[in-house]
Amino acid sequence: MIPAHPGLRGGPVYLDYNATTPVDPRVVDAMLPHLAHHFGNPSSSHSYGDQPRHALHHAREQIAALIGARPDEIVFTGCGSEADNLALRSALLSARTGRPHVITQVTEHPAVLETCRSLERLHGAEVTYLPVDGDGLVYPAELAAALTERTVLVSVMAANNETGALQPIAELARITRAHGALFHCDAAQAAGKIPLSVKELGVDLLTVVGHKMYAPKGIAALYVRRGVALEPLVYGGGQEGGLRAGTENVALAVALGTAAELAAGELTDGAPNRVAALRDGLHRRLTDALPGRVHLNGPDTGRLPNTLNVSIDGLLGHELLAAAPSLAASTGSACHSGIHTPSPVLTAMGLNADRALGALRLSLGRWSTPEEIETAATALPKAVADLAATASSR
């Protein structure tokens, strides 16, 4: 049974699980002994290092089991952005080629896009940014056409953080590896929400992020397929297979391992179907309450079970959420100095600025309930009516 979460009591309905997840109390319980008691260095040969060393290995086993990997293929990092940097930068520096070529796509997370831009700026790499279709998906034929003899790495996310769109990773990885290049997949949003197998996907590198799956912020992991040569991102004592020096944060590694085991259990217990039913119920309630005005952004099928991205005609997402304080969710826009700009993900999918600025990302999770969905399905149409009344009174 899932324990109640103390951080969700009495506050707004939380519909922002794609931004971050509450830390599961069972994860907290697992990590606390490694903060209070088991303080030893896992690299120490004496008895104080035994329990931390065992805990670290067990955490690798738990994460490996979630994604169908081997424990020695799991490298702990401090966050998902670091894991993405380790994959991209280290693969490029290990390539030892004249002007290396990297391929990604335009709706990737900034952790990948900004790393690619730094590779262009600092290392003279050539980067191809593949376009996406109206559902936010990469065309496999476009990837095949973009590959060259200098291509060392392709990086495409498993699931988009805004729309939940699921990329055809297995097909993209097959094309890439047949060409002799490495394939990296940022699975920050997908891991724990849908089944993932690195063998079935055929990927060489895959990012898993703790705070997206009910572990604390500040811990992530990179799957590195056996035989893949990477240049270390952090040099020093040789921890993490020589790829990331520094004494490991055992407590956070234990937290991620526990979160991975809990997620694996939920995947077999029907949790994705439960969450998808709540999401789809919310979508139906909104379209019934606002007929003809609610537009789904992203694919109807082939998306994460917890993610609903919609735009409502004639409204700005940030204004709508401000008028619905009983909800905590995200918009499809970014605010800089009071000026809201449309999401690059949505505009890359072909949405015009008005529809992109009207987007809401409503993402559900472990503690979402029918009662919360009822609250959201009532609060949003009421906020629409309140905004209309305010506008007509001016």
Among 267, 300, 327, identify where a domain stops: 267
Considering the entire predicted model, what is its pTM?
0.96
Average pLDDT of the chain? Answer: 95
**Which residue, chain included where needed, has tokens 């035989």?**
227
Is residue 335 annotated as part of the catalytic site, yes or no? Answer: yes
Whether 255 is covered by a domain: the verdict is yes
User: In this predicted structure, which of 152-166, 207-221, 319-333 has the lowest mean pLDDT?
Assistant: 319-333
- Would you place residue 6 in the very low, low, confident or very high pLDDT band (cuts 50, 70, 90)? confident
CATH code of 205's domain: 3.40.640.10
| Averaged pLDDT for residues 245-270 | 97
Task: Count how many domains the chain has.
Answer: 2
- Structure confidence at residue 337 as a pLDDT band (50, 70, 90): very low
Angle at 244 between CA 77 and CA 262, to 5 degrees: 30
Output the six-digit token pair for 303. 């998306």
Q: Of 79, 116, 185, 335, which is the active-site residue?
A: 335
- The SS3 of residue 212 is helix
**Do residues 296 and 310 make contact, with C-beta atoms less than 8 angstroms apart?**
yes
HSE at residue 393, side-chain half, CA atoms within 13 A, is 6
Q: So what's the pLDDT on residue 333?
A: 59
Model confidence at 3: pLDDT above 80: yes
- How many H-runs (helices) and E-runs (strands) does the chain carry? 14, 15
For residue 332, is pLDDT > 90?
no
Q: Which domain holds residue 358?
A: 270-392
What is the full DSSP assignment across 310-370?
EEETT--HHHHHHT-TTEE-EESEEEETTEEEE-HHHHHTT--HHHHHTEEEEE--TT--H
Last-in-domain residue among 237, 267, 297: 267
User: Within this chain, do residues 193 and 228 fall inside the same structural domain, yes or no?
Assistant: yes
pLDDT digits (tens, 9 = 90+) for 191-204: 999 999 999 999 99
Q: Identify whether the C-beta of residue 321 lies closer than 8 Å to the C-beta of residue 386.
A: no
Domain boundary among 267, 290, 316: 267
Q: What is the CA radius of gyration of the chain?
A: 22
Q: Are residues 274 and 260 in the same domain?
A: no
The angle at the Cα of 69, spanning 64 to 73, to the nearest 5 degrees, equals 85
